[in-house]
Structure 1
Amino acid sequence: MAVASLVYDDPALSAFELDFVEGGERCRLPLGQAWNRRFESADPVREFRWAKGGQGFAGSYFSATVGDHVGYESWLERDRLILLDREPEVVGIASQPFWLRWHDGLRQRRHAPDYFVRLADGRGRVVDVRASDRIERADAEAFAATERACRAVGWEFVRVGEPEPVFMENVRWLSRYRRRRCSNPDVAARLLDVFAGGAPLQARAARAGDPLVVLPVLFHLLWHGQLVADLESAPLSSTTLVGVGRQAR
Structure 2
Amino acid sequence: MSASSTLGTGFGSVVWSASCTVDDLLVAYEPGPADGAGLDVGPGWKRRWTTTWCLDGAELVCPVAELEGVPVGRTRPVRGFSWHPRQGHRPGLELLVSTGRLHGFESLEERRFLRAADFAGSVRDVLSQPFRLRYRAAGRSRTHIPDYLVVTRGGRWLVDVRPLHLVKDVDRPGFVAAAELARTVGWQYSVVAGWRPHVSGAIEALRAEARPMSHLLDLQERMVAVLADGAMPFGDLVRATSFPVMARAHALHLLWHRRIGVDLAEPLGDGSVVALAGGAPR
Pairwise TM-score range, normalised by the shorter structure: 0.7 to 0.9
Q: Show the counterpart of 1:193.
A: 225
By relative contact order (CA 8 Å, sep 6+), the higher-ranking structure is 2
Cα 1:188/1:23, change in 2 over 3 Å: farther
Q: Show the counterpart of 1:89.
A: 122
RMSD: 2.4
Amino acid at match of 1:42: T
Which runs of 5 or more residues in structure 2 are unaligned? 1-42
Question: Structure 1 residue 209: deviation in Å?
Answer: 3.9
Question: Structure 1 residue 20: deviation in Å?
Answer: 0.9
Percent identity (aligned): 27
Q: Show the counterpart of 2:172.
A: 140
TM value normalised by structure 1? 0.85
Mapped partners of 1:134, 1:159: distance in 2:
12
Mapped partners of 2:158, 2:85: distance in 1:
29
Mapping of residues 143-222 of structure 1, within 5 Å: 143-179=175-211, 181-182=212-213, 184=215, 186-196=218-228, 197-211=230-244, 213-222=246-255
Mapping of residues 232-247 of structure 1, within 5 Å: 232-234=265-267, 236-246=268-278
Question: Structure 1 residue 125: deviation in Å?
Answer: 0.7
Mapped partners of 2:207, 2:214: distance in 1:
13
Question: Structure 1 residue 16: deviation in Å?
Answer: 1.8
Q: Show the counterpart of 2:15.
A: none
Question: Structure 1 residue 111: deviation in Å?
Answer: 1.0
Mapped partners of 1:156, 1:72: distance in 2:
20
Asked if the contact 2:67/2:185 (under 8 Å) is kept, the reply is: no
Cα 1:20/1:52, change in 2 over 3 Å: same
TM value normalised by structure 2? 0.76
Which runs of 5 or more residues in structure 1 are unaligned? 1-9
Q: Show the counterpart of 1:7.
A: none
Deviates more, 1:191-200 or 1:68-77: 191-200
Residues 45-93 of structure 1, C-alpha deviation per residue, up to 9 Å, x if partnerless?
1112345433321111111111101111111111111110011532221
Question: Structure 1 residue 12: deviation in Å?
Answer: 4.1
Cα 1:169/1:159, change in 2 over 3 Å: same
Cα 1:160/1:88, change in 2 over 3 Å: closer
Deviates more, 1:108-117 or 1:236-245: 236-245
Question: Structure 1 residue 213: deviation in Å?
Answer: 4.3
Cα 1:112/1:184, change in 2 over 3 Å: farther
